[in-house]
Structure 1
Amino acid sequence: MALFDNPVIPGFSPDPTICRVGDDYYVATSSFEYVPGVPLWHSRDLVHWRLIGHALDRPSQLALTDEVPSSCGVYAPTLRFHDGRFWMITTVVAGAGTVMVTAKDPVGPWSEPVPVGIPGIDPDLAWDDEGHCWCVFSHDGMIRGVRIEPETGELLGEPVPMWSGSGLQYPEGPHLYRIGDWWYLLLSEGGTERGHAMSVARARTLPGPFEPHPDNPVLSHRSTGHPVQNTGHGDLVQAQDGTWWMVLLGTRPLGDTPKFHGMGRETFLVPVRWEDEWPLPGPLELRAPAPALPPHPWPAEPVRDDFDSPALAPCWMSLRRHDPSAVGLDTRPGHVVLHARTDGLETPGAVFLGRRQRDPDCSARTRVDAGGGDRGGIAVRLDEAHHYQVEIGEGTVRVVARIGPLRQTVAERAVPPGPLTLRVDITTTGVLPPTVTARPTEPGAALPAGLRVGGPDTLRLGYETEGGTFEILAELDGRYLTTEVAGGFTGRVLGMYATRGAPAFDWFELRPAAGPKR
């Protein structure tokens, strides 16, 4: 029996929504303060996924100001295919509100957004047998629904309550389906932390009344020792062979209690069985039987970008806006040149270009030329108040840690003039004890006796000599770059930044560490 590895979309890829068109599957996920907005993933076997673009990929569709807080911006989307078109609806929190776009091809172009005047978050779309379009959403502790005119976004009535879940907090992420003789309403509840859960109800007609499954929640890993936690926000799909599946989010926390996850909420795949006309998802396994579909792996995503193309690859993300005047691919051939707008990553308007951390153990490297008064480097970012940096400027390479209100230069060293290769390694083995925030590196040095290993991973920051030796300037505890410490809804993003002048980056590499996948 063929097996597959969960998560199927690793790294910061929360709130997955899925639709099938023939033999092709498409998933959209949340993007929050990063642009382009709403990543779109493509698969032909539900296991192998490739990033093909974004639904909100230009300023006219998504305009986030520098004041939009981290973990605001683009919340949970819904992706559907109806009447020959793809439809994507989402809520831009602290922005435009709920908007909808359409496309003939998910690669794009996608239309200009149509506003939909509903309150709340997590909108969903469903069409009934008469062709009427229903929008259901979460608002004020209740899942509500209303018919809309999809071409204009006009509400065709007042939203009505449908279901409030099984009694857990935050009923959200609703998806409405017509399957057989029933309407099914799938939702998440319990909060997107360890109590996250999936529940389901059904009704013969819309807008209800909906009867809940007697054993709700139908999927949750709360209060268990399962290696995947925070399970919820799922969406159903029927494969071409008639089997049913669900994509959902989860996390892989590591370390000492309460355990920590830095990669964010990831996309997992579980089978769905039907009992007494109820869809029951699970079990969720890290190594699981694969769907009985022809395997269709894609070419591996390149680990290195030499910036030789006229446009950035889809994997690259910027903070709140992509500014061509700040991110230049034609200023210096074979380089990306970042033009600083602020003097720190904690300042609104910071210039940062990054990629999701997709492997628990990985290495990020870049070759940067920071001449004159330039300053820039690599950052591992969770939000404005939680990031680690290794940077070069004015002949000095330094490691800087920002943890909440504290910002500290952890280590620094003078280096010869000229381009320098900066490096960050992330490892889940040999992590620092909980009382140690940073330490100078001594090869073979043991941890202090009597201390428990606490964090999920350790980040080693430094630079490479011309001979290729990794000069580690500092080791930092990874727990401070997790949502259990920082809060919020995102995961780590590793990338390049500029905080003075216009440093030029020759290449950037994000490579999984050798060894078994975790």
Structure 2
Amino acid sequence: MTPPKPEAPSYDNPVIPGFHPDPSVCRVGEDYYLVCSSFEYFPGVPLFHSRDLVNWRQVGNVLDRPSQLPLPADAMASDGIYAPTIRHHGGRFWMITTNVSHGGNFVVTAERPEGPWSDPVWLDLPGIDPDLAWDEDGNCWCAFAGAHGPDFHGVQVARVDPEAGKVLEGPSPAWAGTGLQWPEAPHLYRVGEWWYLLIAEGGTERGHTVAVARARSPRGPWEPAPVNPVLSHRSTNHPVQSTGHADLVTTPDGEWWMVLLATRPVGYSPKFHVLGRETFLTPVRWEDGWPRVGPVNLRERAPSGARPARVAPQRDDFDAPGLAPQWISPRSRPDGSWSLAERPGWLALHATGPTLDRPGCTFVGRRQQHPESRTAVLLDHGPGRAGLSVRLDEGHHYDLEVADGQAAVIARIGPLRQVVATRPVVPGPVTLVITTRSARRWTEGEEARSGLHVAAPDHLAFHVGEDPEPLAELDGRYLSTEVATGFTGRVIGMYVTEGTAWFDWFDHGPLDDPDRT
């Protein structure tokens, strides 16, 4: 009997789950580096490293100093940093992006990907989503999406000096796509005798697509692919939606791959995505001189030599001298708002604002990365007000809060703020737990009692101490992009709005993780 062929290695999408949109990737030797948009969060532009395109580890944030990331105190949610591009040229790493809240387009550079990265060099170019590419003569070309609104002109291209921040030629109109809305996210590539211009269009919602054109020069003229879009899941029932905002990379052995953003909407129509737009990976094939991709599946054939995917540790005991790069805060994180030295082994948070409903609060969180998750902290609270929050923006968050001898579940949904449930707590450290559980785990009886379809993408349960019964359960759809709008996803974090609080550890991972106690 002929033995069965070994199963081809595979990987699960998304390769970087949770709110990690607008991925851009470059390869240096056998190492891959990837960055994503960060919007109103500080530090900005998370930076990941991989050796196989499947297993990614966050090694830092490109914008980790206030001088690199000036965000007004009242910057709107989903403003801030849009669509970075990372490239390696001339022995240096280059990252170009847009701060839509302050200054526009800028470039930073570093000798090593872990940094330090330079302060911004600002470019006098309009629009968003800038890209950098160099030709064989050393000229640097910047493609970008023209300013939205009445002056929108599709994708434009300019020749620039990125070190001096000077525009040397242009900008000139390049390509407006196939006629769909918002042609954006351009990337330029030299492949053989052709320059390729990869863009996204159709909007970053369910109509998102990837399209491509080519020319003999970055100056054009641009010839669209005979079959565009080269990738789209629009108007399908595929579990992966909103495919777009892509970047291309080659492996050392010549394989082509694409990183892109997409969502995993669930629940009753119109379905909801709560983790934000995530980073997916898919193989690329070339047909008659054009790249073709898709569909993008939740399980794909792995790149040659890829190792089995592994889940990175999710627990932080706050024993390190500084905060890990996964920790983010809205707009800023003033030095006086937190400390790891005041009480060794604990994260101390000091209130800087009285509420999570407006900018200026003390909040330290990380992106929710699992559709079904468990997040727990050990909180030692003083006479103030502190807790654990699931945040989408100032107008949409659920809080498990301890104050005045009570634990409370508080829901902020648009203009409404309600204390849902309370119970007494004793002084001293207390464990707070928030779980997210998919709607499919709701029973038919629950649906019948509610008189509604099970519309929620998930349900959140709030536990205090060792009590197996939740203090409250809330519908997860109100912490989704479809309700709150915007471009981000859920961030779960610790906060204090009055006085000082100490956190001994923070643990976030899959709900059914057998290794979690």
Q: TM-score range by the shorter chain?
A: over 0.9
Instruction: Give per-residue Cα distances to partners, 1:120-157, cap 9 Å, x unaligned.
Output: 00000000111100001001141001000121110002
Could you say which residue in structure 2 is the equivalent of 1:482? 480
- Contact map agreement 2:374 2:434 (CA 8 A) in 1: yes
Instruction: Give per-residue Cα distances to partners, 1:385-429, cap 9 Å, x unaligned.
Output: 000000101101000000001111011111222221111000114
Could you say which residue in structure 2 is the equivalent of 1:370? 381
Could you say which residue in structure 2 is the equivalent of 1:405? 415
Task: State the distance in 1 between where 2:59 and 2:376 align.
Answer: 24
Q: How far 1:462 sits from its partner (Å)?
A: 2.6
Could you say which residue in structure 2 is the equivalent of 1:463? 464
Instruction: Give per-residue Cα distances to partners, 1:205-261, cap 9 Å, x unaligned.
Output: 221010101221110100000000010000001111111000000000010000000
Select 2:489's aligned residue among 488, 491, 503.
Answer: 491
Q: How far 1:104 sits from its partner (Å)?
A: 1.2
Give the letter for the 2:437 counterpart: T
Could you say which residue in structure 1 is the equivalent of 2:251? 239
- Contact map agreement 2:318 2:346 (CA 8 A) in 1: yes
2:418 matches 1:417: no
Seen in structure 2, the aligned counterparts of structure 1 residues 396 and 80 have a Cα distance that, compared at 3 Å, is same
Seen in structure 2, the aligned counterparts of structure 1 residues 37 and 276 have a Cα distance that, compared at 3 Å, is same
Q: How far 1:446 sits from its partner (Å)?
A: 7.3
Q: How far 1:293 sits from its partner (Å)?
A: 2.3
For the residue of structure 2 that corresponds to 1:508, the secondary structure is: strand
Could you say which residue in structure 2 is the equivalent of 1:187? 199
For the residue of structure 2 that corresponds to 1:159, the secondary structure is: strand
Task: State the distance in 1 between where 2:262 and 2:197 align.
Answer: 20
Instruction: Give per-residue Cα distances to partners, 1:150-200, cap 9 Å, x unaligned.
Output: 211100023000000000000000001111010000000000000000000
287-296 vs 118-127, greater mean Cα deviation: 287-296
Task: State the distance in 2 between where 1:19 and 1:165 align.
Answer: 24
Task: State the distance in 1 between where 2:259 and 2:351 align.
Answer: 39
For the residue of structure 1 that corresponds to 2:169, the secondary structure is: coil
- Contact map agreement 1:142 1:164 (CA 8 A) in 2: yes
Could you say which residue in structure 2 is the equivalent of 1:41? 48
Select 1:86's aligned residue among 82, 87, 93.
Answer: 93
Task: State the distance in 1 between where 2:500 and 2:442 align.
Answer: 35
Unpaired segments ≥5 residues, structure 1? 435-443
Unpaired segments ≥5 residues, structure 2? 1-7, 147-151
Instruction: Give per-residue Cα distances to partners, 1:421-459, cap 9 Å, x unaligned.
Output: 11100011456699xxxxxxxxx9775165321110000
Instruction: Give per-residue Cα distances to partners, 1:290-347, cap 9 Å, x unaligned.
Output: 011242767x432211111110011111111121100111121211111111111012
Task: State the distance in 2 between where 1:424 and 1:504 align.
Answer: 18
Could you say which residue in structure 2 is the equivalent of 1:501? 499
TM-score by length of 2: 0.95
Task: State the distance in 2 between where 1:133 and 1:114 align.
Answer: 15
Task: State the distance in 2 between where 1:346 and 1:313 align.
Answer: 26
Give the letter for the 2:363 counterpart: F
Could you say which residue in structure 2 is the equivalent of 1:329? 340
TM-score by length of 1: 0.94
Select 1:388's aligned residue among 398, 413, 421.
Answer: 398
Could you say which residue in structure 2 is the equivalent of 1:133? 140
Could you say which residue in structure 2 is the equivalent of 1:439? none
Seen in structure 2, the aligned counterparts of structure 1 residues 393 and 471 have a Cα distance that, compared at 3 Å, is farther
Select 1:270's aligned residue among 282, 289, 297.
Answer: 282
Could you say which residue in structure 2 is the equivalent of 1:255? 267
Task: State the distance in 2 between where 1:474 and 1:215 align.
Answer: 51
Seen in structure 2, the aligned counterparts of structure 1 residues 340 and 471 have a Cα distance that, compared at 3 Å, is farther
For the residue of structure 2 that corresponds to 1:453, the secondary structure is: coil
What is the number of residues matched between the two proteins? 502
Task: State the distance in 1 between where 2:403 and 2:450 align.
Answer: 38
Select 2:349's aligned residue among 338, 355, 368.
Answer: 338
For the residue of structure 1 that corresponds to 2:20, the secondary structure is: coil
Select 1:428's aligned residue among 438, 449, 455.
Answer: 438
Q: How does 1:49-448 map to 2 (within 5 A)?
A: 49-139=56-146, 140-295=152-307, 300-372=311-383, 374-430=384-440, 448=449
- Contact map agreement 2:53 2:306 (CA 8 A) in 1: no
Give the letter for the 1:421 counterpart: T
2:25 matches 1:18: yes
Q: Percent identity?
A: 57
Q: How far 1:40 sits from its partner (Å)?
A: 0.6
Instruction: Give per-residue Cα distances to partners, 1:349-399, cap 9 Å, x unaligned.
Output: 011100111110111111111122x11000000001000000101101000
Task: State the distance in 1 between where 2:45 and 2:412 align.
Answer: 28
187-196 vs 468-477, greater mean Cα deviation: 468-477
Task: State the distance in 1 between where 2:216 and 2:389 align.
Answer: 52
404-413 vs 505-514, greater mean Cα deviation: 505-514
- Contact map agreement 2:267 2:439 (CA 8 A) in 1: no
